[in-house]
Amino acid sequence: MTTARDLSLVATDPHNDSVVEQGDLSLALAGAELIDLIDAGAVTLDGDRLVAGGAPPAGDALLLDAASLLTASAPKETVEDWLWRRGRDLAARYRGALEDEGLVAPARQRRNPLRRTTPAPADSPALRQARERRVSGEPVLTGLAAAAGIEEAPSDTLAGLSDEHGAVLAAVHQAVTELAAERQRRSIESAAFDNIWRGA
């Protein structure tokens, strides 16, 4: 299992009570993919910029897709630019992949009401592994889960991380903070617009 798949499973875990913003999760998933690609030697960091390396890891279609985007991207893209570009609708893509594999229950009814859907196993080996990794306090998954709003951020989010992992995680947290500020700005503008129409 990849870090991104573990993070997606943790986010969709029925025992998880947190309300997760899909945009935050998408950014965290893009960061998880980047960390997996770093660990596989498919990319390295030159400061905050990505440098394509060796062959991508085999076996996971979404991670292979991420690697193909990396090699096709402009030279030395920044980590933050990668997060925004790769993160677009990424949470929905992971959710769909996990649904197709029967690892999570469908989030919505299928278009054909006569078609039966197989419920996801309540305690699959993949979900158990993701839970164990989360409970163990493994720093990469813990930091990404905190960035996505799944759990509270540890007091030192970069403790126990390599320099490259720390750089990616810091960029994820920065991007999530920027997204929250944008949400707040839009909310304020929407409220002001509503007040104008109400004559307030």
Given a cut of 50, whether residue 35 has pLDDT beyond it is yes
The amino acid occupying position 89 is: D
Given a cut of 50, whether residue 42 has pLDDT beyond it is yes
Q: Where are the alpha helices (DSSP H) in the chain?
A: 3-12, 22-39, 61-72, 79-87, 90-100, 125-135, 139-147, 163-198
State both tokens at 81: 């630019």
Q: d(Cα 188, Cα 157) in Å, to the nearest integer?
A: 30
52-56, 75-79, 80-84, 118-122 — which one is most confidently predicted on average? 80-84
Given a cut of 50, whether residue 129 has pLDDT beyond it is yes
Nearest 5°: CA angle at 77, between 95 and 70? 50
The β-bridge relationship of strands 43-46 and 49-52 is antiparallel
* Cβ contacts of 184-190, under 8 Å, gap ≥ 24: none
Residue 184: pLDDT band by 50, 70, 90 thresholds? Answer: confident
pTM of the model: 0.84
Q: What is the pLDDT of residue 135?
A: 86
The average confidence (pLDDT) of the chain is: 83
List residues bridging with 78 in a β-sheet: 49
Residue 76: pLDDT band by 50, 70, 90 thresholds? Answer: confident
Exposure on the CB side of residue 191, measured as CA atoms within 13 A: 6
Residue 134 or residue 89, greater confidence:
89
Domain ranges within the chain, ordered by starting residue: 3-109+119-198
137-171 pLDDT tens trace:
889 999 999 999 998 776 665 667 899 999 999 99
How big is the chain, counted in residues? Answer: 200
- Taking the alpha carbons at both ends of the chain, their separation in whole angstroms is 54
